[in-house]
Homo-oligomer: A and B are copies of this chain.
């Protein structure tokens, strides 16, 4: 397997930039990840429809999210994680703080 494994890594929120085939659709993709044990909910928004694939942003929240299970489910759907745009871990969900450097 070329991809990095996440073993026991867990999170409270993940924001993943995904490239997915048109089939299955966005709802089926969101529901599949939402069904993973420990996931409270999933939000997927369409960023861009390209010729062969869709670029979507997936926000996953849970307590705890088992990151490896999320990756496996995404791969089973034929999609790929382009980048991890946000990860939040710990006893409570902490939001990013905006500073003048942003």
Contacts and interface: CB of A to CB of B under 8 A. Distances in A.
A46 B83 contact: yes
A71 to B, nearest CB: 10
Given A25-B4, A25-B84, A57-B102, A30 B96 contact: no
Interface in A27-78: 27-31, 33-34, 39-47, 49, 57, 59-61, 67
Query: Chain A, interface size: which category?
Result: 35 or more
Given A27-B67, A100-B102, A90 B34 contact: yes
Interface of A: 4, 6, 9-15, 17, 23, 25-31, 33-34, 39-47, 49, 57, 59-61, 67, 83-97, 99-102
